Amino acid sequence: MQLSTRHLLGIKNLTTEDISLILSTAAQFKEVLQRPVKKVPSLRDVTIVNLFYENSTRTRFSFELAEKRLSADTINFASSSSSAAKGETLLDTVNNILSMKVDMVVMRHSASGAPHFLAQHIPAAIINAGDGINEHPTQGLLDAFSIQEKTGTLAGRKVAIIGDIMHSRVAQSNIYLLKKMGAEVTVCGPPTLIPKYISEALGVSVNYNLKETLEWCDVANVLRIQLERQNQVLFSSLREYSLAYGINRNLLDSLHKEIVIMHPGPINRGVEMDSDVADSKQSIILQQVENGVAVRMAVLYLLSGRN
């Protein structure tokens, strides 16, 4: 079986077969990561550039580790310390890197659609590591993998996505993926952070009440408040946000069931989630990080064929 695409630009254009293939391959890579030698030679003839035009810790490390576990050669690019700071265009930078015989490009960019633009202009396989407020497909895949691993299935699972939906590429990738795989999705947050027509556009439910949403769901994926993407005041203060939408121990204890807590990181502790929630046994936040490496190995492996 092969993926239907040669790039991973978003979940939007993946088929359910693609998603299942990536998730089942990731399960095999997770086994690789438990071995004494956590490395396979699959990509030893492949060179990958990690092109990060925007800050990242988790995703960049996760991709780099995945590449190394697959025996690929890697080069890292951070825009702040490169010629991009001297005014070189994206396409020029990439073409210069490709002339050094690079096979795959992992890219994060603050402009939505940047990896799609690149895919039209260069021959290498492109993997989107987050583009603006559009998509973060590998995060969507690792979240789905983690939900499936923890709860057994995606189909019929009730997943709440809580917080800043408006500016979140994680939310968008999660919604596309979960809907394709038959899960039910409710988004929850202040009305100013939820796009007005999201229900019609993406087929999700909207609930502005946190307690009701948590009572409904099996899994709560809690997003970070992205202060860097907001150029207007969408809620009055972090304290007020935390009072209305922060998840704390008392709230979880008041529910009639135990739900799974997820967060893509980095956590604003005390804002969207309290420490005793983030560090509780209901939380699978660190498993998400661990699974991220296996999922990214699967994506890199499946896209590494030469057409």
Interface residue list for another protein (CB under 8 A): 1-2, 21, 24-25, 28, 31-32, 35-37, 39-42, 45, 301-302, 304-306
Rounded to a whole number of angstroms, the minimum distance from the CB of residue 305 to another protein is 4
Q: Which is nearer to another protein, 87 or 152 (CB)?
A: 152
Rounded to a whole number of angstroms, the minimum distance from the CB of residue 40 to another protein is 4
User: In the numeric block, which tokens belong to residue 73?
Assistant: 């050669």
Q: Which is nearer to another protein, 30 or 108 (CB)?
A: 30
CA atoms of 164 and 224, how far apart (whole Å): 7
Sorted by sequence, the CB contacts under 8 Å of residue 257 that are 6+ apart come out as none
Asked whether 74 and 49 are in contact (CB, 8 A), the reply is yes
Task: Extract the runs of DSSP E, i.e. beta strands, from 66-174.
Answer: 73-78, 104-109, 125-131, 158-162
Q: Which is nearer to another protein, 38 or 211 (CB)?
A: 38
The three-point CA angle 287-29-132 to 5° equals: 60
Rounded to a whole number of angstroms, the minimum distance from the CB of residue 85 to another protein is 36
Instruction: Name the residue with tokens 């202060």.
Output: 227
Rounded to a whole number of angstroms, the minimum distance from the CB of residue 6 to another protein is 11
CA atoms of 194 and 113, how far apart (whole Å): 21
Q: Which is nearer to another protein, 24 or 55 (CB)?
A: 24
Q: Which is nearer to another protein, 149 or 279 (CB)?
A: 149
Rounded to a whole number of angstroms, the minimum distance from the CB of residue 219 to another protein is 26
